[in-house]
Amino acid sequence: MLLAIDIGNSDITLGLWVNENWLHHWRIPSKPDQPEIYYGVKIREFFLESTVSLNTVQTVVISSVVPSLNEKIKGVIRTLFQQEPIVVGPKIYDDLPITVLNPYEIGSDLVANAMGAFVKYKQTCIVVDFGTALTFTTISGEGKILGVSIVPGLRTALKALTQNAAKLFDVPLEIPKSALGTNTVTAIQSGIVIGYEGLVRKMVEAIRTELGIECPAIATGGLSFVITPLSSFFYAIDPSLTLDGLRYIAKAVKPDS
């Protein structure tokens, strides 16, 4: 049994891999000001509610883009599971079958995405991750991370807009019926959601043009469901890609996991 933990800027996503399947997915809001015990109680409750014994977890692998949470979560793992977690970072990259671009700069979540795409899709592809940031990670069929593009995520863009414009307010991230907004809600939805559809298409097109191949685009991340007109544009919508990447990383570092 393997526990994969993806510590993101908005949420901590946990996945429990059992018998060749993600048996459970859990989320905890990322709150760096909370003490270690807060996260320990949350994770213990998840296992209790799912009637899964903590002792059955053989391997824990962590990716984090929130440094202030790293020691807290590692402390929780030591306390609950009596083991040291595998932490995705430059120290383990030489053990992976992929070549990591700028190991000390690239986010570990992007490395996990690249690893997941490399193992699952076995060809040059672009991973589009709809999270706090909207990221485009391109990995070759030979396993080399070729480059990354980063823009603010949908919710981040919406938050920036509403916090910096006195008369604007938060709205649901939904596709409006028309690009012609007729009130504040539909105007913001049009600009953000339809606008981001165009952004994604243009970025993927630019990457494909530079590579000279029509490589597939894979969508992942918590907001990958929002821009529904892109559903047919993507080769696959794979919400568990990051967790799968963490699982493959753990297998490469610890083959018996």
DSSP string, 147-201: EEEEEE-HHHHHHHHHHH-TT---------S-SS--SHHHHHHIIIIIHHHHHHH
Q: Residue 198: CB partners within 8 Å, gap ≥ 6?
A: none
Query: Which residue among 94, 95, 109, 244 is the active-site one?
Result: 109
Q: Is 109 designated active site? A: yes
Identify the band that residue 225 occupies on the pLDDT scale cut at 50, 70 and 90: confident
Domain limits, the chain: 2-87, 91-245
pLDDT band of residue 90 (cuts 50, 70, 90) is very high
pLDDT value of residue 168: 66
Give the residue with greater pLDDT, 163 vs 114.
114
Over residues 18-39, the pLDDT tens digits come to 999 999 999 999 999 999 999 9
| 206 vs 178, higher pLDDT | 206
User: What is the signed CA dihedral for 207, 210, 214, 217, rounded to 10 degrees?
Assistant: -10
2-87 and 91-245: same fold?
yes
CATH fold label, 91-245: Nucleotidyltransferase; domain 5 (3.30.420)
What gap in Å lies between CA 212 and CA 170, rounded to an integer? 40
The fourth-level CATH superfamily of domain 2-87 is ATPase, nucleotide binding domain (3.30.420.40)
Segment 232-256, tens digit of pLDDT: 999 999 999 999 999 999 999 988 7
pTM of the model: 0.92
Segment 180-197 mean pLDDT: 88
For strands 125-130 and 133-139, give the pairing.
antiparallel
User: What pLDDT, on the 0 to 100 scale, is given for residue 23?
Assistant: 94
User: What is residue 226's predicted lDDT score, i.e. its pLDDT?
Assistant: 77
- Pinpoint the alpha helices (H) of the chain: 36-49, 67-81, 108-121, 154-164, 184-189, 195-211, 241-253
Q: Report the pLDDT value the prediction gives residue 257, as an integer from 0 to 100.
A: 66
